[in-house]
């Protein structure tokens, strides 16, 4: 399977009609997080920033299934933590997203929107994503994931 790189974002569309598993960074100041914040707020439990804080504090991906086909990735820089260059952490995040899609979201496509994220190590993450995708054995295990796209135009850490 090939990683499709995009320079434009995919809009989520109407709630309940999503055809893509969206993945964004849990940075409440991020423009793209804000795009999904309204959907998160509609869940009615906690404000979107609360969910971002939970993901960042635990330093692990968080999925909103069954309410949303949306996964938040923790920021690489958060508080005293700096995971820039940490391939092991990024590989775990990649694994968590694929697991969320296969076990919960069950979408044909995963779209990682890492567009211009300043507090997320997109370079190391992309390397680990490509490494995972190069493993034919892993792809043979997937029932749902057929396509992966990555939006990263304007990265600040290249």
pLDDT in tens, the chain (158 residues): 555 655 455 555 555 567 899 999 999 998 888 888 888 888 877 899 999 999 999 999 999 988 889 999 999 999 999 999 999 999 999 999 999 999 999 999 999 988 778 899 999 999 999 998 887 666 677 889 888 998 876 544 44
Of 147, 131, 128, 112, the closest CA to residue 1 belongs to 147
pLDDT score for 155: 42
β partners of residue 5: 150
Of 99, 91, 93, 94, the closest CA to residue 65 belongs to 99
Structural domains of the chain sorted by starting position, each given as residue range(s) with its CATH number in brackets: 20-151 (3.40.220.10)
């Amino acid at each position: 399977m090939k990683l499709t790189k995009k320079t434009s974002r995919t809009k989520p569309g109407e709630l309940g009609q999503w055809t893509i598993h969206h993945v964004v960074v849990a940075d409440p100041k991020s423009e793209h997080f804000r795009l999904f914040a309204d959907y998160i707020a509609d869940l009615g439990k906690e404000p979107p920033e609360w969910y971002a804080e939970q993901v960042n504090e635990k330093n692990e991906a968080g999925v909103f299934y069954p309410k949303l086909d949306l996964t938040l990735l923790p920021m690489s820089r958060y508080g005293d933590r700096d995971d820039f260059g940490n391939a092991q952490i990024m590989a775990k995040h990649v694994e968590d997203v694929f697991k969320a899609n296969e076990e919960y979201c069950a979408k044909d496509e995963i779209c990682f929107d890492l567009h211009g994220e300043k507090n997320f190590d997109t370079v190391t993450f992309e390397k680990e994503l490509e490494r995972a995708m190069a493993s034919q054995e892993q792809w043979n295990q997937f029932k749902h994931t057929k396509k992966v796209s990555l939006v990263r135009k304007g990265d600040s850490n290249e």
